[in-house]
Structure 1
Amino acid sequence: MSEQTTQTRPRISRRIGAIAESATLAVDARAKALKAQGRPVIGFGAGEPDFPTPDYIVEAAVAAARNPVNHRYSPAGGLPDLKAAIAAKTQRDSGYAVEPANVMVTNGGKQAVYNTFAALLDPGDEVILPTPYWTTYPEAIRLAGGVPVEVFAGADAAYLVSVDQLEAARTPATKVLLFCSPSNPTGAVYPPEQVEAIGRWALEHGIWVVTDEIYEHLLYDGARAPSMPVLVPELADTCVVLNGVAKTYAMTGWRVGWMIGPTDVVKAATNLQSHATSNVANVSQWAAIAALEGSLEAVDEMRAAFDRRRRLIVDMLNAIEGVHCPVPQGAFYAYPSVEGVLGRSIRGRTPQTSAELAELILDEVEVAVVPGEAFGPSGYLRLSYALGDEDLTEGVTRIQTLLG
């Protein structure tokens, strides 16, 4: 009897079996695999700066690797020096005063997202999720037992949800609002007055805010992205700020992120991390200290390059019949609507969804893009312009040739 019971049980737990693969990483992996086969694939999939990590950060890591102190375990919540540097950087860059006790260092931004939702959510708690969303958010919410509630704003609304939309989605089960500005995947930036209005709405209804600020330094055209708890100070006790060094300092592979929140939430998340991963690699933490305490000169140079590419890719995409791409004001993504292309015959195929269109683009012209289904509704594509100018021009030219 017990043998039969064992055989009928699923091999993989339902909780983990329900997780979808990261679509952005999957597209990037496929593009790299095709490149390894010698095919001239151009990948717009990964949200990863094409610049090397600045030399002074690398040198700090080399020095840390030589110090035997860093060959041992360190506190699960982060090195005290890094937590102090994060607190100082947060005050410097956003005017948000926090103490090191409000900070926990994580293995990249994704662990900060997961730890935060694990600390805040009980089964059935709802999280309002402005859509299009970063592909990891709903999976982290579900893993924590929560229920993502999508609130969609399309290209016609510049991908910005309104307070009225949020209010319409609120129920007695609503516990958290996820907020991301500048946005991945759209590059949209909420104006300060809208950030404050959303914060006031959350405060009025006792809703936690988890705000992802990892693209805070990648802003264009004079856009500003103020931190919500700065505009609404009363929100600090029910707000968690997520951030990291990956995007700003071209450090995606170093895996250092953090969460800032009330001390009880940080303590709970640290307890979880102590069992899940222990400390973040000490060498990476010292590299992050150097990044946060150093000059932003290298960041300014990267942003200037991203700005140039941003204007180029938007102009090229909008030149394609049936494509509409709002001008992103932050991050390094273009998020065009391709609804005007769907249903059209292209080289003997008629894509009905953006997933089918992305597959066609890869098959026919060897350009990898991420379909809108990874971030919410179909009908959109995400293209990262954090790649070289030559590849960007060649890749979009191929798409123009295919769809033109």
Structure 2
Amino acid sequence: MHQPEKPSPERIRRAREDSPKIRGRDLAARLGISEAELVAAHCGFGTVRIEPRVNDVLTGLGAVGEVMALTRNDSAVHEKIGIYDRVFTGKHHAIVLGNDIDLRIFLKVWAHGFAVETCDGGEICRCLQFFDAAGEAVHKVHLRPSSNLYAYQKLTDELQSSNQEPILSVKQRSAENIAKIPDQAAIVDDLREHWSRLTDVHQFFDMLKTLNLSRRQAVRIVGQDYAWLLDNDAVSAMFHHAAEDEMPIMCFVGNRGCIQIHSGPIKSVKQIGPWINVLDETFHLHLRTHHIREVWAVRKPTKDGHVTSLEAYGADGKMIIQFFGTRKEGEPERDDWRLLTENLPRIASSSAASGNTDAY
């Protein structure tokens, strides 16, 4: 199939000049390119290509001080203000366990990096932007007024790539294979057996991998004692109840390369059109509710008693966002969170059973 010719770097930069307010992700889509290609076109024009040496990035960011960390997917944007401290690096994974910035990072996904400097109304804005091999954003770090500019410049100088060409080669994202269930009755029994033996929520992914199931497949077939379908308005209801009761929650938003977590109460919840927005002092969240296809309450056994998550899925079967009540390992689930999740509006079991099978 013939691929349309991509715009030149010059044309991309002109498009940005003509539309300075449009978000980079949206402008890239309009131009038929990835966001990473849009950013790369500005190399030499306020943008410097840097090596995506993730461990060096994470350890170096601590000296930069207060920044805003941003992780997103197609349907949710998660922003946290804080410091990159308590960084634990590794060969395949890295973790940031700061009081405010809490990340789970998958190193092999980070393929491209840039240090970007723009001018907005006379104010210079600086950020680091990282993308996967297909040019989709993985994680961004925006400087704040109190950030240490010297430490930031030192870090970007150390990471600067020898390749400053304004053209970027990206790989086409291959369609993800969704596992097929050959014998649903047999796999349900096997799934329920494995599920019942969980002692930690972190064992859940390994269980899915062992059974060759996606997360959404598992919650759909495991049975209502472990997972039950909720009305799509359940997420909005949860936000408003949690804010009203000052209930501390955990909010997870991620993509293939990074998961970002907020832990604590939320205060300012605003619905603007199809978007639910949390606009707190150090935490902003923007969620496209019209992208939500299903919402599930999911109960997992642990050695501290069962814990309950609220999970929203898109039409592609991927999880958009996930919530827990705030808890530390060794502590039982909060009673107020459990009460809330168990009383959110449910969809009758017959409706759940006859739901769409596009995830299978």
Q: Which has the higher contact order (CA 8 A, sep 6+)?
A: 1
More helix by share: 1
Normalising by the smaller structure, the TM-score range is: under 0.3
More strand by share: 2
TM-score, reference length from structure 1? 0.25
